[in-house]
């Protein structure tokens, strides 16, 4: 039995039957208690929608008790204006202060990242946290090595991405790769899991959105993400578990600058059919 229904609490509304994305729940009669459709147990992805939709808390999955799933508090819902400002005021942070990032705060980012959507609710995302600024700098240096190599071996790509300029900035003591961030969050997963890359990116996107709430700032480390695809010394330095691939890198730290306006953005290109 993948779930248990408390027949005293169940009001037979059938919401769990409707909410189950995989259609694994049935009610034999209109007023009968919901039961799993025989032989489908293995198809359950433990998304918890059946638990979350039940207004009486009657249904618990084997893996998820109703009483452990917090109710949505109406008083915490945000309105449209608040939501738009929250999303619109997120900025990529490229200047960091010296204050080290507390591990407790990173744990909060990771916790929230776990609420991002995940294909088939598989949640394949693993995190590697680089907490040592010297190590962040060393990894950034490897990305610069990759750029130097690219300039030599594939000058066209080097030019397109202005690697010469980035390398020159590095040689002058700047860090255009990780922006002197004190912290890196690296999301990785098994290569074989087909949508793992999307899951990793969504998880980091949730962490990025949560960062300012904790006084932190974040930015995607795109140069490093690119280098992890094609530069073995960087892959070796990350030393991820066997079969894992790096699918996302994010710098994190305390922002040095405060943004007071929200810049304009091109409207998305849209077609209606
Ligand atoms: C996949 C990806 C890679 C990125 N890589 C970098 C990077 O390596 N360095 C950097 O400073 N910003 C990087 N950014 C941040 C973008 O430049 C930034 O999102 C854009 O300029 C818009 O600014 P905003 O995020 O503040 O709206 C990256 C963003 C994405 C989505």
Taking only the tens place, the pLDDT of each residue in 95-112 is: 999 899 999 999 999 999
Mean pLDDT of 204-219: 98
Prediction pTM value: 0.95
Taking only the tens place, the pLDDT of each residue in 60-87 is: 999 999 999 999 999 999 999 999 999 9
Taking only the tens place, the pLDDT of each residue in 17-38 is: 999 999 999 999 988 999 999 9
Cα of 246 from ligand 1 centre, angstroms: 18
* Cβ neighbours of 152 (radius 10 Å): 9
pLDDT of residue 74: 97
Mean pLDDT of 235-241: 97
pLDDT of residue 193: 80
| Mean pLDDT, the chain, whole residue set | 96
Taking only the tens place, the pLDDT of each residue in 116-129 is: 999 999 999 999 99
DSSP 54-121: -TT--EEETTB-GGGSPPPPGGG---HHHHHHHHHT--B---B-SPPPPHHHHHHHHHHHTTS--GGG
pLDDT of residue 226: 96
Cα of 223 from ligand 1 centre, angstroms: 10
Taking only the tens place, the pLDDT of each residue in 213-231 is: 999 999 999 999 999 998 9
255 secondary structure, DSSP code: B
pLDDT of residue 242: 95
pLDDT of residue 191: 87
* pLDDT surpasses 80 at 1: no
Closest residue (by CA) to atom 9 of ligand 1? 221
DSSP 107-158: HHHHHHHTTS--GGG----EEEEE--HHHHHHHHHHHHHHHHHHHHH-HHHH
The Cα 21–Cα 44 span in angstroms is: 9
194 confidence band (pLDDT: 50, 70, 90): confident
Closest residue (by CA) to atom 11 of ligand 1? 94
Cα of 219 from ligand 1 centre, angstroms: 6
pLDDT of residue 192: 81
Quickly tell me which residue has 């066209």 as its tokens.
156
Closest residue (by CA) to atom 22 of ligand 1? 92
130 confidence band (pLDDT: 50, 70, 90): very high
């Amino acid at each position: 039995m993948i779930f248990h229904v408390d027949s005293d609490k169940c009001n037979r509304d059938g919401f769990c039957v409707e909410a189950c994305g995989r259609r694994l729940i049935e009610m034999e009669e209109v007023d009968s208690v919901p039961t799993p459709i025989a032989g489908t147990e293995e198809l359950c992805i433990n998304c918890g929608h059946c638990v979350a939709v039940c207004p009486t808390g009657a249904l618990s999955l084997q893996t998820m008790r109703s009483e452990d799933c917090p109710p949505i508090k109406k008083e915490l819902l945000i309105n449209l204006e608040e939501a738009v400002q929250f999303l619109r005021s997120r900025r990529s942070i490229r200047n960091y202060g010296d204050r080290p990032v507390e591990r407790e705060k990173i744990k909060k980012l990771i916790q929230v990242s776990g609420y991002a959507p995940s294909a088939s609710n598989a949640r394949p995302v693993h995190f590697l946290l680089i907490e040592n600024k010297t190590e962040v700098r060393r990894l950034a240096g490897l990305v610069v090595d990759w750029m130097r190599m690219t300039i030599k071996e594939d000058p066209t790509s080097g030019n397109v991405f202005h690697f010469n300029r980035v390398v020159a900035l590095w040689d002058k003591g700047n860090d255009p790769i990780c922006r002197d961030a004190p912290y890196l969050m690296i999301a990785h997963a098994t290569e074989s899991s087909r949508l793992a890359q999307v899951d990793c990116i969504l998880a980091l996107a949730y962490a990025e959105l949560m960062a300012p709430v904790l006084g932190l700032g974040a930015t995607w480390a795109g140069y490093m993400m690119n280098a992890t695809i094609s530069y073995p010394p960087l892959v070796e330095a990350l030393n991820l578990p066997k079969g894992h691939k790096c699918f996302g890198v994010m710098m994190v730290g305390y922002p040095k600058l405060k943004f007071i306006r929200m810049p304009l953005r091109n409207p998305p290109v849209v077609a209606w059919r």
